[in-house]
Amino acid sequence: MAAEASDAPGSTSSGGAGTEPPPGGESGPDMGGSNQDLLPKPPSDSNSKQEDTKAVQGCNGVNTEASVPVSGLKEPCANEENSQPPAPEEGHVVVTNPVAVEEASLSYTLEFEKYWKAARENPHDFTAWTELLQYVEQENHIFAARKAFDAFFAHYPYCYGYWKKYADMERRFDFKKETEEVFERGLQSIPLSMDLWIHYISYLQATLDMNLPASIQKIHSVFESAVAAAGMDFRSDKLWEMYVEWEKEQGDLKAIIGIYDRVLSMPTQLYSHHWEKFKEHVMSNSPKDILSAEELLWLQSKITTKSVQKNAETEVEEAPPGEDLPPGVEVKPETGPDAQGDLDQDKIRELVISIRQQIYTQNETEVSKRWNFEEGIKRPYFHVKPLERAQLKNWRDYLDFEITNGSHERTIVLFERCVIACALYEEFWIKYTKYLENHTVAGARSVFQRACGYHLPRKPNIHLLWAAFEEKQGDLEEARRILKSFEESIPGLAMVRLRRVSLERRQGNLEAAEALLQEAIRDNEGMPLASFYAIKLARQVLKVQKNLIKARKVLMEALEKDPENAKLHTNLLEIEFSADVKQNEGNTMNCFERALSSGLPEETKIVFSQRRVEFLEDFGSSIHSLLTAYDEHQKFLKHQTTRKRAPENGCTDEPEDKKMRAEDSTGTVNPAVTTAGMTPAMGGDMSTNPAAAYNYSNWYQNYSVYGYQNPWNYNQYYPQS
């Protein structure tokens, strides 16, 4: 059976892979060490000054990231109606530009063509692509860059650093529409990329006219899309802070409270920093400026109710006119309206914080549960180099924890983060599809499309699972298309051809199933794989179509082309065994004779000889045939023993006692045996050892070596004395 077409990234125990910079990432002044060094103190140290902690940076100062599908942002090729895996350059938004006609007629430099050819001839060579992209950046040729980037992202859509470079290149040429389209395409491919979202928002803030209401609305809409897509990421703090600062610039203090209400319930890395910022915002602004009218009225009524209850409990009876108050009791001076208003505002602020305190405490508990898992993620971005075993195990454990303890939404976000860092590992995509299959068929289909269309186009297992998924959903044509397309791209995989055959058989299309096997036999003529398919065809014809004659013909034709194939002889023998033994004895014996007269190895012939003796003993109609078969079997055994005991290294000296023992064990005539044709190897001395007459074990002495088990352990019924 053909081997898998493309190797998965191997697991390594070294730490080199974990420190690779993200593809397309630039070195910057903020370049730091590992992510672990930049993590704030664990949640147990709640007094640490986490407001001074910067957002976690990946290697070379690039923010760490992940990916999650959200409403409004579709993954490439995630449309339910179109379950085709994306073609290399058709799954992206078409980039229009003012000189599209001119671009189509452009000729490229020989240097570009050299890099382009290297990348296209081996599209899975990541280095070839990076060299091509580096060249087009240096040359600053926008049309060559578009061609290169578009082809690159058809294979590696998770490289957010290159999406940034692509957008920046379009911006340098002042193609505003094209720049925005590149950003949108990038965020469709990797919507959990915090770095890409921030880069896009910064671009909009720099280019839009902020005096126009439409510009304000657009940026607000993009912020909302960003936090909806990536806000549940554990490392999304920088995005939330940016949103708060932008609303502060707009003077919308009430909107800031709404943002904090959302982020305070999200388990994020800088959760305590958000809490401190929230309290600072509440204490430095008037409640009427930061709270909605409904919440303000509710809080005022709550404070009034508490005040009335407190006054009723502590009310002091006034003294009659002319009498002094009891010792220790003083008359409280009446407060003015301003002082009372300040007092009410302070109470409202305290109540606002108190209510959110419960949410913060609960969120702190959730952060504590995930902290160790997050510290174990050393490379949250995509890279073609393999991950360490420890990181792979951490992802498995984290996913299992979230599936068991987390919400569905958080589980989806974690899966999306995982399949970015582990995009080339089949097991995580399969785990994701199995999880989604229990929740949403459309979601599972979208993940299959992404995995098979982009990241694992040469992995057979996930393609087989995708086809099985579609078959289970009743979409047989899609299942057929998936298997056929994969077989055309990676020909020669027996497991894929057999799945196509079984699909047709399950649907009752026996002719189509037989035609697929016949085609496979013809395509592999002269190779061992042809005999493999012949055996599969013969078994299907026999078991499903109940046609013994046709099954025999298939194997006989295969034996004519491959006469020394032991599996063909064995399967032909099994087919003959399946028929009426009495009527089919002649065909069965012909199978034995054909195998024993072929060019099979001596050891294999002994197995067939053993089975022939067994068959004649159990079902044969002639004692002469049995004795003849037994004598021939003894010759095979003696010849094999002689070969095994042949002198080694040219030495011919051997002790006489060993030679005598060898001769005795290989069947010299024992006078005690009077049965004609029966040798001691079979019978032994019955006068001294009656059980030896039934010593069948000699017939099976090499049986298990060739994969055949002794079906009848006769010696358990005739123990040696």
Q: What confidence tens digit (pLDDT) does each residue in 409-438 have?
A: 999 999 999 999 999 999 999 999 999 999
Average pLDDT over every residue of 274-293: 90
Q: How far apart are CA 509 and CA 502, in angstroms?
A: 10
Q: How far apart are CA 511 and CA 499, in angstroms?
A: 15
Closest-CA residue to 721 (of 682, 696, 688, 683): 688
Do 461 and 481 contact (CB within 8 A), yes or no? no
Average pLDDT over every residue of 337-343: 52
| pLDDT tier, 214 (very low <50, low <70, confident <90, very high otherwise) | very high
Q: How far apart are CA 291 and CA 102, in angstroms?
A: 57
Q: How far apart are CA 490 and CA 5, in angstroms?
A: 7
pLDDT of residue 516: 95
Token pair listed for 617 = 């003993």
Sequence-ordered list of residues with C-beta below 8 angstroms from that of 161, at least 6 positions apart, any chain: 22, 23, 24, 25, 26, 62, 195
Q: How far apart are CA 187 and CA 163, in angstroms?
A: 9
Q: How far apart are CA 264 and CA 356, in angstroms?
A: 8
In whole numbers, what is the pLDDT of the chain averaged over residues?
Answer: 77
Q: 20 to each of 59, 110, 388, how far by Cα in Å?
A: 7, 32, 12
Per the model's pLDDT, the better-predicted residue between 63 and 493 turns out to be: 493
SS3 string, 72-88, reads CECCCCCCCCCCCCCCC
Sequence-ordered list of residues with C-beta below 8 angstroms from that of 194, at least 6 positions apart, any chain: 63, 64, 65, 230, 233, 235, 236, 238, 239
Q: Treating both helix axes as pointing N-terminal to C-terminal, what angle do 566-578 and 602-619 enclose, rounded to 10 degrees?
A: 10
Do 492 and 532 contact (CB within 8 A), yes or no? no
Do 429 and 447 contact (CB within 8 A), yes or no? yes
Q: What confidence tens digit (pLDDT) does each residue in 42-92 have?
A: 344 433 333 333 333 333 333 333 333 333 333 433 333 333 343 333 333
> Around Cβ 475, how many Cβ atoms within 10 Å?
16
The 3-state DSSP composition of the chain as helix, strand, coil percent (nearest 5) reads 65, 0, 35
Closest-CA residue to 457 (of 130, 93, 124, 122): 124
Q: What confidence tens digit (pLDDT) does each residue in 653-669 have?
A: 555 555 445 444 444 33
Name the least confident of 152-156, 160-164, 338-342.
Answer: 338-342
What phi, psi does 700 have (nearest 5°)?
Answer: -115, 20
Q: How far apart are CA 462 and CA 233, in angstroms?
A: 27
Q: How far apart are CA 62 and CA 53, in angstroms?
A: 16
State whether residue 58 is helix, strand or coil: coil
pLDDT of residue 654: 53
pLDDT of residue 455: 93
Do 3 and 43 contact (CB within 8 A), yes or no? no
Look up the pTM and report it: 0.71
| pLDDT tier, 312 (very low <50, low <70, confident <90, very high otherwise) | low
Do 189 and 53 contact (CB within 8 A), yes or no? no
Q: What spatial distance separates the first Cα and last Cα of the chain, rounded to whole Å? A: 49
- CB-neighbour burial class of residue 655 (10 A; exposed 0-12, middle 13-18, buried 19+): exposed
Q: What percent of the chain has pLDDT over 70?
A: 69
